[in-house]
Structure formats: structure tokens, C-alpha cells
Amino acid sequence: MRTFGLFVLAIGMVTLATAQEKEKAAPRSAGELKAIESLRKMGALVLEVAQNDNHLDISYLQPDEKFGDAHLAPLKELKGVVHLNLRNQPVTDALLVHIKSVDSLTQLHLEKTKVTDKGLAELKGLKNLEYLNIYGTEVTDAGVAQLADLKKLKKVFLWQTKATKAGAASLTKAIPGVDVNMGYDDIKLPEPKKEEPKKDMKKDDKKKDAKKDDKKTDTKKDDKKADAAKDAKKEVKKEEKK
């Protein structure tokens, strides 16, 4: 019975893997192809993650001051968008309404955008999100708290925001194992070495010379004493001979 159970489990795993492969390789609908074409016309780089994996990586690499709803609206037509990079675009809180239904997202770049706490509320439905970069935004601890339900988060970048270490600590408590990067404050710099006061070489040399002179003087005194002792012995011997 145990062998039969293992056999059934193996068949189930193979079936699941096959289904996943078919999903990855499934041809895109006319609506998806049109959405991809629309994104590319507006300057988006739309790539498949791998040759045999048609999950999508979408990036707007060149800043566009006219960035608006049209740039994000096509996302709702696409399946399998896993990476979205909106770095340095004038993305506002209102524009994030186009992202909230893209629940396949695992990575989201919103650094140096106009996103605030209000906008982060639109991300609550991104249950598969693992990476979120919001550095250089106006986000505070209140916005960070809204990320607590995204249990798959592994990395969150918060440096150059208005969030505090207390807010970051609250998030790490809500999502065990998440790495919250506060930037420069997280870097422990080595303490500067205390420089020893430079010795006055001239004074040291004078002290050494003085010690040498003292030794010479002492040596002369000892020599005089020795000579006086010799003279005294000679006088004693002369007296003895008399």
C-alpha cells in the first residue's frame, strides 16, 4: 500500500509539473499581444523571463514626465507579470490602482517615485510580492505598516524615506525573516583609530645626549676614584718598606 501511495504521489507531481510547463509555454491571446505592443510603443521594455518561461519582466527605463494611466493600464490584460520596474518615473498614488490586481508580481521597483503611504494601500493584494523597493519616496511608518499582510516579502528597501527604525522593526515582527534595508544607518562603520601623540624627537634626542653625558661624567669620577685608590696603595707600600 505504501508503494502504491508513493506511486500515486509521483504521478501527481509529474502532472502538476506538466501543467505548470504548459502554463509557461501557453500562447498569448490577442488581447495580451496587443497590450504588449502598446507597452512597447510607450517605451516599456517587455521581456520573457527565460526562453522556456513566458512570465514577463516589464521595465520603464527612461524617465518620462508624461507618464500616466496609459502606461500602466495595459497591465490588466497580461498574465504572468512577475517583475515591474517603475524606478524614477513620476508615478503617483493614483496610478497604483493599475497594479493592485497584478497578483503575479514578485518584484516591484517604486524607488524615487511620488508614491506615499496612501499609494502603498493599493499593494495589499500583491500576495506573491517578494521584493519591494521604495527608497527615495515620502513613505512613513504608517505606509510601512500597510505591508504587514504581504507575508512572502523577503526584501524591502526603505532608505531615504521618512520611515524610522521603529517602523522597520514592526515590519520584521509582522513578517519573520524579511530583510528591511534602511540604507546608510544599517552600515556599521569601524571606529576610527586613535592616533598616538607624536613624540618630540628633539626632546628625546636631548634626553639621550644628557644621559650619555651623565654616563661619561660618572665614568670619569670612577676613574679618578680608582686612580686615587692606586696612589693610596702605593703610599702604604712605601711606608711598609721604611
Is residue 134 domain-resident?
yes
More confident: 53 or 82: 82
**One domain for residues 100 and 207:** no
Out of 8-12, 108-112, 203-207, the most confident range is 108-112
- Per-residue pLDDT, 15: 45
**One domain for residues 90 and 182:** yes
Closest CA to 156 of 176, 178, 174: 178
**One domain for residues 205 and 117:** no
Tens of pLDDT, residues 139-152: 999 999 999 999 99
CA distances from 178 to 67, 84, 86, 117, 169 (A): 31, 20, 22, 20, 10
- Per-residue pLDDT, 13: 46
* Sole residue written with cell 592616533: 195
The CATH number linked to 97 is 3.80.10.10
Q: Which domain holds residue 216?
A: 194-242
Label residue 177 left, alpha or beta by phi (over 0 means left) and psi (-120 to 50 means alpha).
left
Is residue 10 domain-resident?
no
* Number of other residues whose CB lies within 10 A of the CB of residue 121: 15
Is residue 87 domain-resident?
yes
HEC letters along 162-215: CCCHHHHHHHHHHCCCCEEECHHHHCCCCCCCCCCCCCCHHHHHHHHHHHHHHH
Is residue 2 domain-resident?
no
- Per-residue pLDDT, 27: 87
Is residue 107 domain-resident?
yes
**One domain for residues 82 and 36:** yes
**What is the arrangement of strands in the sheet containing 53-59, beginning at the earlier edge strand?**
45-50, 53-59, 81-85, 107-109, 131-133, 155-157, 179-181
**One domain for residues 96 and 179:** yes
**One domain for residues 174 and 199:** no
**One domain for residues 201 and 232:** yes
Tens of pLDDT, residues 96-142: 999 999 999 999 999 999 999 999 999 999 999 999 999 999 999 99
- Per-residue pLDDT, 193: 64
Is residue 92 domain-resident?
yes
If one counts the domains in the chain, the total is 2
